[in-house]
Structure 1
Amino acid sequence: MSTSRGTRFDAFLSALAVLPSGYSQGDYFGERWGVTLERSADGRRIKLFGEALGSSDHVSFNLYRVAGEPRLKPCEMPAEKVIDFVLGFRPEAQKR
């Protein structure tokens, strides 16, 4: 997915910005997930890998900043799956 900007993609970027780096656990629509989020030191790459702790479901993607524009690269899954995940995932410290 390139820079197709819109309200939903902007919401995804905002939600991604507040997720904690490193490993965390949390809730995604009633299911417990473990997520590892890595940010490069220069801020040009974000890598996320998440897996459901009670099933075989997972989500994985890289987000690159090219000329200041975000480029979402899902790993063998639709972009909508990773966007839905980031919008719905609640790390333990952020559960409501």
Structure 2
Amino acid sequence: MLLEYIHKLPIGFSEVLYADKKYGLTRTDFNKGKSIKIYAEELGGTNFISLNYYVTSSKEFLKPCEMPEEKVIHFLKNLSVLPLG
């Protein structure tokens, strides 16, 4: 389910809007998309989101980096990707 939200994010750098604040977000895929790293930093602020997501033949794993899982899930479900330019 979370993978659907992750796949909506462009690979590489993008800007997203979350809670009326702009974030610089980087999505990096490894291992043919079986391992995904996302790091987002609030532009002009102090908040950040960091996670790894793993897909195996039997399960999917969300591994937030030093933050609650709920914070990461809320971010992924409620962000909007902004057009670059």
Aligned mates of 2:68, 2:57 — CA distance in 1: 24
Tell me by how many angstroms 1:16 deviates: 1.1
Equivalence for 2:48? 58
The amino acid of 2:29's aligned partner reads R
| Deviation sequence 1:28-82 (CA, Å, 0-9, x none) | 1210100000111422100000010021100000001123411111000011111
Pick the aligned partner of 2:30 from 40, 50, 59.
Answer: 40
The amino acid of 1:62's aligned partner reads N
Aligned mates of 2:32, 2:58 — CA distance in 1: 12
The amino acid of 2:69's aligned partner reads A
Aligned mates of 2:24, 2:63 — CA distance in 1: 20
The alignment yields a C-alpha RMSD, in angstroms, of 1.2
Q: Compute the TM-score of the two structures, normalised by the length of structure 2.
A: 0.89
- The yes-or-no answer on 1:88 pairing with 2:75 is no
Unaligned stretches of 5+ residues in structure 2: none
Aligned mates of 2:17, 2:36 — CA distance in 1: 21
Q: Compute the TM-score of the two structures, normalised by the length of structure 1.
A: 0.79
* Count of matched residue pairs: 83
Q: Where is the strand percentage greater, Structure 1 or Structure 2?
A: 2
